[in-house]
Amino acid sequence: MKRIITLSLLALLCLQGAAQEVSLAFTGRDADNRYVELNRVTVINHSKGWNETLFWPDTIMTMQDVTAEENGGLLLSQNNPNPFKGSTQVRLAVKEAGEVTVTIANMNGRVATTFASTLQSGIHQYRIDLAQRGTYLMTASWNGRTSSVKMICEGEGGTDKIDYQGFIEPFPLRDNALLDHPFCIGDKMEFTGYAFVEGTEKTVQLKDRAQEASQTVTLQFANNDEYDEDDDDDDAPVVTVDDFRIALSLSPFSLNQFKDGYTFVVGDQTATTPEELQSIYRDLGSTEMYVRLATKRHITYNADGTLDNTTDGQPDENANVHTFDQVIRTCRIAAQLDIPINPEVMCAYIYMDMDGTQAPRFYEEDYPELYAKPEFYNIMHDKKWEELSLEDICTVLEIYGEFVADSILATGCTVNDWNLGNEANFGFAGIGIGTPNSFDQKLAKAGQMKRYMASLFGLRWLKEHVWKYEAQTLAAVKRGILNAYRHYPELDASKVRFSTHIATVTSTPRATAAFFTYMAEHGYAVETAGISYYPSAPAMSFNKKAMLTKTVTRINKKCGVPVFIGEFSYPSQEMVGPFAGWNKQLKGYEKDQQGQADIYKDVIEWGKDHGLAGIRYWAPDYEGEWYPMSMFEFSDKVGTAKTILKNHKEIVED
């Protein structure tokens, strides 16, 4: 009988005193994602100096977790259950008594709730209640240290709150040297799997894995006639005739920061306006600007004149940064400075990314130009987005695409590249995992775990329930954009490039290439494939450098197009708050200003010869909780250039 172990891909680490354990369950799949019976698996923990061979049918490796002891005495367990509806529980271990602060924030950085208390040494339990669906980061801070876990809430909660449920048991005391298989989060591990595929013994080796916690490890074996992903690096990259794109640009937050009195200092230059800052970026080697567009048309204000940074009554840092008005203002800056600009059309009311596909909203009072078109009016008047058919959605998006492109091109700016969607792995234009729609209830009712499981085990499901709609909606917006060029006969639409970009933290190189291949085969062929690449963020791949090289090379080989890194950054110091989980240090790159500059330089140098079309450093001038990633140090609304920006011209031109 076939035995498939189905532990969650998310960490299932539970704190249980001296019995605390971490399990790795191994299973095999062939290139078509069919089950393969493993013969044996060799597990090596290079950090602790032990190895073990597992033989079928017992392919579960159990290790004794000593992270809390060796990590300074702090460890936050994975919540259980996860995903959860309404409430969940989590345990926290502290070695010594002290003040502990627990914070929960969504992936946009909005803090949902926080709880501070003084705890005695030992293991403690909390109950978590969250009202809104979404992915959250829970971070515990104690004695200068932090520990974080990612949680997935599927709704049905009441008030956002953290309740302390009490002391469980003392901190585990044991002699780690006497344990058979000691383990710490982040240990460098290596797995080698052996299985017979179509009568031939195959071997799969996973090296340099910084193991996080309990996990099902899927060993993917190639069929006899299949291309082996490990051979990617031997293939020649796509050759591009264009210059390497350096998209050092004003961030979506820049206009608001200048209104709030920010200034930026780079060497002997000071910028007090967005135009001045972008001019400095241009002098430092930037070749293009960037702007992200939501369907919210106007900035909204409170009665006292401050920004109303809420959406549907909830705090939202994105509420007033991607509006149509701000996009047009930024495009005018690009025209004034004669710098090309890359618009990103999200087709979401406020924001979308890998964690959520928000539907667009077209209020009649905000878009009289659209409602003046009978076809648009007949579809949208007095209707909700989720009530529309797919055909009607595509009609609306095509009309909207033409309006957007017409408005942007009317500013006189130059657009060489249009990017549609933001981290569009799991949907676009309000059609995505867990989002209501009128034509696919399996998609509408899908749980958030699909975002983490589908890239590994569910490519067929993604194709049938996500990507087929996404290809049609992306193509509709593209048609609309190209229609707008008829109003500008002096512009050559045939030279315009289209793209979309997806997140690599929830994808594998194989799944990423499969996405762009599917788009091309179903109506939306990109000229450039976009990805987000954050080396310090949690991801499915533990070796972030190898993940980048394999992703780029596989897209080059399978899709025949270059890759543009649409989002990239690396911290120059410890990330805190909602981004405390983004602190993975890449080998060879310290989390300091020099390490930040070095990794940026090395990615660019490698990319110029290996199929990259360019790179965009994400939000270089944004403070907020993002400031360790920024290219500026901030003090009293004055940003002073870090090493990465001071040396930017030399970095990009070497």
Sort 230 into a burial class: Cβ within 10 Å, 0-12 / 13-18 / 19+.
exposed
Q: Can you give the pLDDT at residue 7? A: 28
Q: Can you give the pLDDT at residue 74? A: 79
Could you tell me the mean pLDDT of each successive run of 10 residues in the chain, 654 residues long? 28 35 82 81 85 80 66 75 86 87 84 92 90 86 83 81 88 51 78 82 80 78 49 56 89 94 97 98 97 96 92 90 97 97 97 92 96 96 95 98 98 97 95 94 86 75 94 97 96 94 88 94 96 87 83 92 96 87 88 96 94 95 91 96 97 87
Pairing of strands 60-65, 50-55: unpaired
29 token code pair: 């799949």
The single-letter code of the amino acid at 31 is A
At residue 63's C-alpha, the angle toward residues 57 and 68, to 5°, is 155
Torsion sign (Cα): 303, 309, 311, 313: negative
Q: Can you give the pLDDT at residue 453? A: 73
Q: Can you give the pLDDT at residue 47? A: 81
Q: Can you give the pLDDT at residue 9? A: 28
C-beta separation of 169 from 14 below 8 A: no
Sort 231 into a burial class: Cβ within 10 Å, 0-12 / 13-18 / 19+.
exposed
Residue with tokens 């609306």: 396
Q: Can you give the pLDDT at residue 8? A: 29
Residues linked to residue 128 through DSSP beta bridges, in sequence order: 88, 162
Q: Can you give the pLDDT at residue 418? A: 98
Give the DSSP H or E segment for 470: helix 468-484
Ordered by where they begin, the domains of the chain are 17-66+178-226 (2.60.40), 68-173 (2.60.40.1930), 245-360+386-394+412-459+491-653 (3.20.20.80)
176 token code pair: 């780690």
Q: Can you give the pLDDT at residue 236? A: 59
196 token code pair: 């017979």
Q: Can you give the pLDDT at residue 151? A: 85
Phi first, then psi: give them for residue 97, nearest 5 degrees: -65, 145
